[in-house]
Amino acid sequence: MAAEPDFSMLDLYQQEVETHGAALNNGLLELENAPGDTALINNLMRAAHSLKGAARIIGLEPVSTVAHALEDVFVAVGEGKLDFPEGFFDLLLRTVDFLVDSGGPDAATMPAWLEENKPRSAVLAEALHAVRAGGPVPDTCRAGGTSATAKESAPANADESSATGGAGSEADASSVAGERDVTVSAQVEGQPASTGSVPIAPGDKKSVPAAKPASKSAPHGAEQVVRVSADNLNRLMGLAAETLVETRQLEHFRETLLRLKESQTELNARIDQGCKLLENGENPASFNRHLEQIRLAAHENLRSIRNQLEVFAAFSQRNTLLSDRLYREVLESRMRPFGDGVQGFPRLIRDLAKTTGKQIRFSIEGKETPVDRDILDRLEAPLNHLLRNACDHGLELPADRAAAGKPEAGSLRLLARHSAGMLIVEVRDDGRGVDVERLRAKIVEKGLATEDMARSLNHDELLEFLFLPGFSTAGQVTEISGRGVGLDVVMTLMQEVGGQVRISTELGKGTTFHLQLPITRSVIRALLVEIDGEPYAFPLSRINRTLLLNIGDLKVLENRQYFDLDGQNIGLVSSRSALGLAGAVSMIARHINVVVVNDRNNLYGVEVDKLTGETDLVVRPLDRRLGKVPGVSAASLSEEGEPILILDVEDLVHSVDKLLAGGDSMQSRYSEQEEKAPVKRVLVVDDSITVRETERQLLENAGYAVEVAVDGADGWNAVRLGEFDLVVSDVDMPRLNGYEFVSRIRQDSRLQRLPVIIVSYKDREEDRLKGLEAGADYYLTKSSFQDETFIGAINDLIGGPRE
């Protein structure tokens, strides 16, 4: 009779599973390419033996049985008694998946997991015994294996995918022949992998679950365990001991200050006594003696203070150095090698190559590059998306590559390095690349831009469309690369950690995704500035340069304020306007300080009052009760303890773009205060600058305050961050059309009562009905500008400008 399970050491078992599971996975991948490596076989045998013993100690009999059977297979291979039958490595990798899965449940859920996985363990043990006896690998345990760290519960069809994340509209595969699919996995955070069934039928190439080759997180309900090297821990202990010793000196300082206080009290009493002697007409000799005693006591106090200041200065210097060493050691303890976070990817690529019938040479470079463990954990998901996408759609089949004069095996590389204080990660493939001309046609087909607008877009601008929500060029929806959810998932994840992503591609040569992230989220290098008398900080990674600009160098083009930088017109706005700070001031200085920030392929200028300098800042999150503060991502403290707001450059860029479109200028920033009576605010959303200006002039002439947005996405950001009395929107716009824009407003509980007018060139009845069904209060044609219909509709909805 089996002993009752004892889960008191389950946390230690989970650590062993993580260590030996990784060794088994990596070792099997190496053994598949080097079958005769005796040392490798011995290492695999020891790892299986260790897991068998660990599982037996805590009473996981099904796991121990499978690990024992796996060990027997390795023993037979090592003794030369067993060849590698077809499907051999698929079976062994499936077995490792099962062993790794056993490290997931906590003490509360382990009994249910064991019961649920009894059939799975029995099938695996039986298959291993059969192979050990010289039999074939069962069909159900062959191709299609997926790593345990690469599983996810996911909808099996496009309809379910749309419900969880929204699939982009699908097109014929022939319509974008040769293009790169940009769909990514719609992963459900925290949803456990389904591990009850063992195999996927051989040849089933449509059911590979979305992978998450992440380092396994702590079991649900358990405290997260962080591994720290022994050397690092010893150094931390040493520094902590030094800190304790140094801190004890504070008691000596306290005692000295108390003695000085007592001495000063006595001195004050002597001074009072001397004053009384002087008032009573004491003889000069007696008074002089008393005065000399006071002088000597004061001199002694001063000497003591000087000595203590010297001691305290030395203490302060030692304490500063010690604190710095301790802080850096703690930061180092948060760092992990890049390779730790991506160790599951070789297995993932191996499985995907077998599933898709492709030959893939996968390599990881820069495994020792140190990365903050939080950054590394968050980075795994976007890398998973990009790698799966490259395997599924970037790299061609061997026959197609051979026909194109390429090696049959495609190259897929994952690289990591440090550069200018940032972590640079690249995903490179030598596949088909992105056909930008077909992408241009797809943009028009999806109604994201007119043909004229699409023709005017350059290579980089076209690639930006790949990051739009729901945009997919997939000819068909697959489980491998994400079931149709847009590449904006990667963009969102990057923005959450303060990173950026961009694409470089060449048709027929391949595609590279460049990811730039902070090395750590705990500390950033920042440029300190002053805005409206308050300190702010720009993350240095987002700054192109700083300038002292003569006010005479500014120019206005199409009502947008620019300055010239290396032959390029750079839009300029004031930081006060971008942050929405109340109040206007008179312009005095002839020169202005400008911070030039970068947003992937674009540069923007932000005027600030003063450039203070560079510094390292400890990032502190804002109180959740504040909600999203426009233009601000976090906070910090200066060396003097003063609060500093860290600017959200991504958010700031949206404000800058909107202000430029609205004609923001230094003159408007330094204008007179508006009248006390509030003016009703109208947001005009149109991608045509001519229409925007026409509507703006009509509304301003009528007395309304007007802001503009260049498309639906920009308008959506504006209505969420600002307060408006009315929205006027076009229909055909890039990124987000008018119907979708209005629908979002009506679905938002805070905005659903906001009046909306659609103004469009489309005058068909079905277009009008579609606009009204989306939630518009009025649907007007642009011919209404020529009569009173437009202003009349506005008066009907919100009344006059100051009512």
Query: DSSP characters for 720-748?
Result: HHS--SEEEE-SS-SSS-HHHHHHHHHHS
Q: Which two tokens stand for residue 198?
A: 């063992």
Which of these, 687, 663, 660, lies nearest to 456 by C-alpha position?
A: 687
pLDDT at 431: 93
For 62-88, the pLDDT digits (tens) are 999 999 999 888 888 888 888 888 888
Which H/E stretch holds residue 802? none
| Residue 186 included in any domain | no
Report the DSSP beta bridge partners of residue 614.
Answer: 527
Shared-domain flag, residues 437 and 572: no
| Residue 555 included in any domain | yes
Q: Is 600 left (phi over 0), alpha (psi -120 to 50) or beta?
A: left
| Residue 165 included in any domain | no
Q: What's the CA gap between 65 and 69, in Å, rounded?
A: 6
Lowest mean pLDDT among 119-123, 609-613, 638-642: 638-642
Report the DSSP beta bridge partners of residue 510.
Answer: 506
Sign of the CA dihedral running 430, 435, 439, 442: negative
Shared-domain flag, residues 325 and 346: no
Which H/E stretch holds residue 717? helix 712-721
Shared-domain flag, residues 58 and 112: yes
Mean pLDDT of the chain: 78
Shared-domain flag, residues 281 and 358: no
For 288-334, the pLDDT digits (tens) are 777 788 888 888 888 888 888 888 888 888 888 888 788 777 777 88
CATH label of the domain that carries residue 513: 3.30.565.10
CATH label of the domain that carries residue 65: 1.20.120.160
For 403-426, the pLDDT digits (tens) are 999 999 999 999 999 887 788 999
Number of other residues whose CB lies within 10 A of the CB of residue 693: 16
428 against 803, higher pLDDT: 428
Tell me what percent of the residues of the chain surpass a pLDDT of 90: 16
Shared-domain flag, residues 512 and 401: yes
The band of 190, judged by pLDDT with boundaries at 50, 70 and 90, is very low
Shared-domain flag, residues 350 and 262: no
Report the DSSP beta bridge partners of residue 414.
Answer: 364, 427
Q: Strand ranges (DSSP E) for 74-190?
A: none
The three-class DSSP label of residue 477 is: coil
Beta-carbon contacts of residue 35 (< 8 Å; ≥ 6 apart): 84
DSSP 8-state symbol, 150: G
Shared-domain flag, residues 584 and 715: no
Write down which residue in 113, 138, 163 finishes a domain: 138
Write down which residue in 662, 693, 710 finishes a domain: 662
Q: What's the CA gap between 608 and 572, in Å, rounded?
A: 11
pLDDT at 223: 52
Beta-carbon contacts of residue 58 (< 8 Å; ≥ 6 apart): 5, 6, 7, 8, 9, 10, 13
Tell me what percent of the residues of the chain surpass a pLDDT of 70: 82
Shared-domain flag, residues 619 and 528: yes
Whether the full predicted model's pTM is greater than 0.95, yes or no, is: no
Beta-carbon contacts of residue 254 (< 8 Å; ≥ 6 apart): none
Q: What's the CA gap between 290 and 286, in Å, rounded?
A: 6
| Residue 704 included in any domain | yes
| Residue 215 included in any domain | no
| Residue 289 included in any domain | yes
**Quick check: 175 pLDDT over 50?**
no
Q: What's the CA gap between 301 and 204, in Å, rounded?
A: 89
Q: What angle do CA 786, 708, 787 make, to 5 degrees?
A: 10
Report whether 757 contacts 666 (CB < 8 A): no
Write down which residue in 138, 170, 195 finishes a domain: 138
For 734-791, the pLDDT digits (tens) are 888 999 999 999 988 888 889 999 998 888 888 889 989 889 999 988 777 666 788 8
Query: DSSP characters for 412-467?
Result: EEEEEEEETTEEEEEEEE-S----HHHHHHHHHHTTSS-HHHHHH--HHHHHHGGG
Report whether 103 contacts 14 (CB < 8 A): yes
Shared-domain flag, residues 413 and 527: no
CATH label of the domain that carries residue 786: 3.40.50.2300
CATH label of the domain that carries residue 601: 2.40.50.180
Range of the domain at 88: 9-138
| Residue 226 included in any domain | no
Q: At what angle do helices 10-33 and 38-57 cross, to 10 degrees?
A: 160
Overall size of the chain counted in residues: 803
- Mean pLDDT, range 378-392, rounded to an integer: 87
Shared-domain flag, residues 509 and 536: no
Domain count of the fold of the chain = 5
Q: What's the CA gap between 707 and 721, in Å, rounded?
A: 13
Count of CA atoms in the C-beta half-sphere (13 A) of 557: 11
Shared-domain flag, residues 276 and 387: no
Q: What's the CA gap between 574 and 581, in Å, rounded?
A: 10
Shared-domain flag, residues 558 and 638: yes
Q: What's the CA gap between 138 and 646, in Å, rounded?
A: 59
| Residue 184 included in any domain | no
Greatest C-alpha distance within the chain: 122
